Amino acid sequence: MTDQIDYHVSDCPVLAVVIPCYNEAEALPLTMPRLLDVLDSMIRSGAISADSYVLCVDDGSRDGTWQCIAALHASDRRVRGIALAHNRGHQYALLAGLMTVKDECDAAVSIDADMQDDPNAIATMTERYRQGAEIVYGVRSSRQTDTWFKRNSARAFYRLQNAMGLQSVYDHADYRLMSSRALDILSQYREQNLFLRGIVPLIGLKTDIVTYERHERVAGESKYPLAKMLAFSIDGITSFSAKPLRWIFMTGLTLLLLDIAVAVYVLCSYFSGDTISGWSSIMLSVWFLGSLILMAIGVVGEYIGKIFTEVKARPRFNIREAIK
């Protein structure tokens, strides 16, 4: 006989909205009224509890973000804040916020401060949660507003992740709702190299998808230029897949077979007396094999670096100050 875990979904859940913030002093005064309006509308309709709130996570900002959060809290007590001791990056700031609210809410929605993700989708996410979904992904309905390069590079990003075995959700960033049980399970994933888009699908609870139209930033600049996106992609792949190491082995095996073919050719040439040495072919071979060796060392080094970070098991973030 199998025991079945009964998970109760509150009819009027306490919802926490978590916003990671880095240099968002311009955006927050525009973002917060829109979010609070969404919460007010949901409270009036009985979709969420009046105890619902917004938590802003200051990720070591260098502008007036923390002062802005304090001012927003003074005008509306539903706005809370935590400040990390130093800049740790978007994924760590997001995790810090989720771990802070996990015992103080029934469900949490993560959303960026730039309001490119439509906050009105929160109501639909909450409805799906009340219908039994414990993780609800916000997924872009289209990429028509993107440039040709951004659209195609994003597609390549998701295809590469899928090819590497990652269970990522196509066109989903970090706009999602998670139940308190999903957050409890997330807290058990202790890796230092964070890639939440890959970790959350591993939780395995009932999921759903809500589509929305993505908009322009309300203010400020993108925190993910091309270089950061490439680094983010590499982190995700090397944190969840060993396929690059297998590719190195297969490349070496292929080159070994090629070397055998070249050796046969060289021996045949030697015994036939046709042994004209070629400087160009030697130089090309040396440079080609040298490049492959350096790339292989780099890939192996990426994995060793992650092992080095993991075994130290340092705290993933430190909270300097909190406003509640």
Would you state the pLDDT for residue 4? 46
Report the distance separating Cα 282 and Cα 262, nearest Å. 12
Q: Above 60 in pLDDT, residue 284? A: no
**Residue pointed to by tokens 């996570």:** 57
Q: Above 80 in pLDDT, residue 301? A: no
54 near 97, Cβ under 8 Å? no
CA 260 to chain centre: 44
Rounded mean pLDDT, 255-278: 67
Would you state the pLDDT for residue 238? 67
Question: pTM for the full model?
Answer: 0.74
According to DSSP, the residues that pair with 17 across neighbouring strands are 54, 109
HSE-CB for 271 with a 13 A CA cutoff: 5
Amino acid in position 122: I
**Residue pointed to by tokens 């007590």:** 77
**Residue pointed to by tokens 């992904």:** 137
pLDDT in tens, 156-208: 777 776 776 667 777 788 899 999 999 999 999 888 878 888 889 889 899 99
319 CB contacts (<8 Å, ≥6 apart)?
A: 82, 83, 84, 85, 96, 100
- Residue 277: which pLDDT band, with cuts at 50, 70 and 90? low
Percent of the chain at pLDDT > 70 equals 72
Report the distance separating Cα 102 and Cα 23, nearest Å. 25
Structure tokens at 314: 């340092």
Q: Above 80 in pLDDT, residue 237? A: no
Report the distance separating Cα 209 and Cα 177, nearest Å. 10
Report the distance separating Cα 26 and Cα 190, nearest Å. 34
Crossing angle, helix 28-44 and helix 65-75, to 10 degrees? 30
Helical segments of the chain, H only: 28-44, 65-75, 90-101, 121-130, 148-163, 180-186, 196-203, 226-240, 243-272, 279-312
189 CB contacts (<8 Å, ≥6 apart)?
A: 199, 202
Would you state the pLDDT for residue 316? 82
280 CB contacts (<8 Å, ≥6 apart)?
A: none
**Residue pointed to by tokens 């923390």:** 66
- Residue 240: which pLDDT band, with cuts at 50, 70 and 90? low
Q: Above 80 in pLDDT, residue 31? A: yes
Rounded mean pLDDT, 215-242: 66
Determine which helix (DSSP H) or strand (DSSP E) holds 53, and give its type and residue range: strand 53-58
Dihedral sign computed on CA atoms, order 214, 216, 220, 224: positive
Structure tokens at 319: 């909270």
| Nearest CA-CA partner of 68 in 115, 33, 97 | 33
Would you state the pLDDT for residue 211? 93
Would you state the pLDDT for residue 145? 64
Would you state the pLDDT for residue 71? 96
Report the distance separating Cα 123 and Cα 125, nearest Å. 5
307 CB contacts (<8 Å, ≥6 apart)?
A: none
**Residue pointed to by tokens 């060993």:** 242
Higher pLDDT, 128 or 89: 128
The per-residue DSSP string of 158-180 comes to HHHHHHTT--PPTTEEEEEEEEH
pLDDT in tens, 302-320: 777 777 777 777 788 889 9
| Nearest CA-CA partner of 167 in 139, 203, 198 | 198
